[in-house]
Amino acid sequence: MKRAVFPGSFDPITLGHLDIIERSIPLFDEIIIGVGTNSEKKYMFSLKKRMDFIEKTFSHYNSISVSQYEGLTIEFCKKIQADFIIRGLRNPADFEFEKANAHANRKLSGIETVFLLTAAKNSFISSSIVREIISNQGDYIKLVPSSVRI
Protein backbone atom coordinates (compact mmCIF):
# COMPACT_ATOMS: atom_id res chain seq x y z
CA MET A 1 0.00 0.00 0.00
CA LYS A 2 1.29 3.43 -0.92
CA ARG A 3 0.53 5.76 1.98
CA ALA A 4 1.50 9.44 1.83
CA VAL A 5 1.32 12.42 4.16
CA PHE A 6 0.51 15.91 2.97
CA PRO A 7 1.73 18.04 5.89
CA GLY A 8 0.96 21.65 6.65
CA SER A 9 -0.68 24.05 9.06
CA PHE A 10 -3.59 24.72 6.66
CA ASP A 11 -4.43 28.05 8.28
CA PRO A 12 -6.68 27.89 6.26
CA ILE A 13 -6.70 25.27 3.52
CA THR A 14 -6.65 26.94 0.08
CA LEU A 15 -7.48 26.03 -3.51
CA GLY A 16 -3.74 25.48 -4.00
CA HIS A 17 -3.77 22.76 -1.31
CA LEU A 18 -6.95 21.29 -2.79
CA ASP A 19 -5.34 21.11 -6.24
CA ILE A 20 -2.23 19.29 -4.97
CA ILE A 21 -4.24 16.81 -2.90
CA GLU A 22 -6.73 16.00 -5.67
CA ARG A 23 -3.89 15.46 -8.16
CA SER A 24 -2.16 13.16 -5.64
CA ILE A 25 -5.12 10.79 -5.33
CA PRO A 26 -4.21 8.62 -8.36
CA LEU A 27 -0.62 8.31 -7.11
CA PHE A 28 -1.33 6.87 -3.66
CA ASP A 29 -3.68 4.36 -2.07
CA GLU A 30 -4.10 6.55 0.99
CA ILE A 31 -3.36 10.19 1.75
CA ILE A 32 -3.26 11.51 5.31
CA ILE A 33 -3.50 15.27 5.55
CA GLY A 34 -1.28 15.98 8.54
CA VAL A 35 -2.20 19.16 10.33
CA GLY A 36 0.96 20.16 12.15
CA THR A 37 0.91 22.26 15.27
CA ASN A 38 3.65 24.50 16.54
CA SER A 39 3.35 26.16 19.96
CA GLU A 40 5.52 29.03 18.69
CA LYS A 41 3.12 29.88 15.86
CA LYS A 42 0.03 32.05 16.19
CA TYR A 43 -2.84 30.67 14.12
CA MET A 44 -5.86 32.55 12.80
CA PHE A 45 -8.04 29.43 13.08
CA SER A 46 -8.11 26.90 15.89
CA LEU A 47 -6.83 23.38 15.26
CA LYS A 48 -10.42 22.09 15.44
CA LYS A 49 -11.61 24.65 12.88
CA ARG A 50 -8.71 23.91 10.49
CA MET A 51 -9.40 20.19 10.72
CA ASP A 52 -13.14 20.79 10.20
CA PHE A 53 -12.41 22.79 7.01
CA ILE A 54 -10.30 19.91 5.68
CA GLU A 55 -12.70 17.13 6.71
CA LYS A 56 -15.61 18.90 5.02
CA THR A 57 -13.55 19.56 1.88
CA PHE A 58 -12.57 15.89 1.47
CA SER A 59 -15.59 14.13 3.02
CA HIS A 60 -16.45 12.44 -0.29
CA TYR A 61 -12.98 10.86 -0.70
CA ASN A 62 -12.52 7.45 0.95
CA SER A 63 -8.74 7.46 0.48
CA ILE A 64 -8.18 10.75 2.34
CA SER A 65 -8.11 11.25 6.09
CA VAL A 66 -7.02 14.05 8.41
CA SER A 67 -4.81 13.77 11.45
CA GLN A 68 -3.18 16.24 13.82
CA TYR A 69 0.47 15.88 14.80
CA GLU A 70 3.27 17.70 16.62
CA GLY A 71 6.98 17.52 16.03
CA LEU A 72 8.87 16.28 13.00
CA THR A 73 6.89 15.24 9.95
CA ILE A 74 9.14 12.20 9.45
CA GLU A 75 8.35 10.98 12.96
CA PHE A 76 4.64 11.30 12.18
CA CYS A 77 5.22 9.39 8.92
CA LYS A 78 7.00 6.59 10.80
CA LYS A 79 4.21 6.41 13.38
CA ILE A 80 1.51 5.95 10.73
CA GLN A 81 3.74 3.92 8.38
CA ALA A 82 3.74 6.40 5.50
CA ASP A 83 6.58 6.12 2.99
CA PHE A 84 5.96 9.36 1.13
CA ILE A 85 5.57 13.07 1.84
CA ILE A 86 3.66 15.19 -0.68
CA ARG A 87 4.71 18.80 -1.20
CA GLY A 88 3.39 21.43 -3.57
CA LEU A 89 5.71 23.89 -5.29
CA ARG A 90 4.53 27.35 -6.30
CA ASN A 91 7.82 28.99 -7.25
CA PRO A 92 11.63 28.58 -7.26
CA ALA A 93 11.92 29.71 -3.64
CA ASP A 94 9.55 26.92 -2.59
CA PHE A 95 11.69 24.44 -4.51
CA GLU A 96 14.94 25.43 -2.80
CA PHE A 97 13.38 25.27 0.66
CA GLU A 98 11.56 22.00 0.01
CA LYS A 99 14.58 20.39 -1.68
CA ALA A 100 16.70 20.86 1.46
CA ASN A 101 13.93 19.39 3.62
CA ALA A 102 13.47 16.44 1.27
CA HIS A 103 17.18 15.61 1.32
CA ALA A 104 17.27 15.79 5.12
CA ASN A 105 14.11 13.71 5.49
CA ARG A 106 15.41 11.01 3.15
CA LYS A 107 18.81 10.94 4.88
CA LEU A 108 17.24 10.65 8.35
CA SER A 109 14.37 8.31 7.56
CA GLY A 110 14.41 6.97 4.01
CA ILE A 111 11.05 8.66 3.43
CA GLU A 112 10.71 10.03 -0.12
CA THR A 113 9.21 13.41 -0.93
CA VAL A 114 7.04 13.75 -4.02
CA PHE A 115 6.80 17.25 -5.48
CA LEU A 116 3.86 18.49 -7.52
CA LEU A 117 3.82 21.86 -9.22
CA THR A 118 0.84 23.94 -8.24
CA ALA A 119 -1.49 24.63 -11.15
CA ALA A 120 -0.70 28.03 -12.69
CA LYS A 121 -4.15 29.38 -11.81
CA ASN A 122 -3.43 28.74 -8.10
CA SER A 123 0.28 29.49 -7.96
CA PHE A 124 -0.15 32.86 -6.26
CA ILE A 125 -2.40 31.56 -3.46
CA SER A 126 -0.97 31.03 0.01
CA SER A 127 -2.59 30.70 3.41
CA SER A 128 -0.80 33.87 4.54
CA ILE A 129 -2.34 35.84 1.65
CA VAL A 130 -5.77 34.45 2.51
CA ARG A 131 -5.32 35.35 6.21
CA GLU A 132 -4.32 38.90 5.26
CA ILE A 133 -7.42 39.27 3.06
CA ILE A 134 -9.68 37.85 5.80
CA SER A 135 -8.19 40.08 8.49
CA ASN A 136 -8.91 43.12 6.31
CA GLN A 137 -12.48 42.01 5.54
CA GLY A 138 -11.65 41.32 1.89
CA ASP A 139 -13.27 38.83 -0.47
CA TYR A 140 -11.32 35.60 0.08
CA ILE A 141 -14.01 33.20 -1.23
CA LYS A 142 -12.37 32.66 -4.65
CA LEU A 143 -9.14 31.45 -2.99
CA VAL A 144 -10.46 28.70 -0.70
CA PRO A 145 -12.69 25.60 -0.88
CA SER A 146 -16.37 26.18 -0.14
CA SER A 147 -15.92 24.60 3.30
CA VAL A 148 -13.88 27.62 4.42
CA ARG A 149 -16.53 30.12 5.32
CA ILE A 150 -16.32 32.30 8.39
How far is Cα 11 from Cα 8, in angstroms, rounded to an integer? Answer: 9
The dihedral through the CA atoms of 72, 10, 85, 25 has a sign that is positive
Distance CA 150, CA 148 (A): 7
Is 127 known to be catalytic? yes
Q: Give 61-98 pLDDT, tens digit per residue.
A: 999 999 999 999 999 999 999 999 999 999 888 899 99
Catalytic residue (choose from 39, 41, 107, 146): 41
Residue 23: active-site member? no
**pLDDT the model gives residue 150:** 78
Domain 3-143 has CATH 3.60.21.10: no
Active site residue 17: yes
Is 42 catalytic? The answer is no
Query: Domains of the chain: which residue ranges?
Result: 3-143
Would you place residue 149 in the very low, low, confident or very high pLDDT band (cuts 50, 70, 90)?
A: confident
Catalytic residue among 9, 24, 87, 90: 90
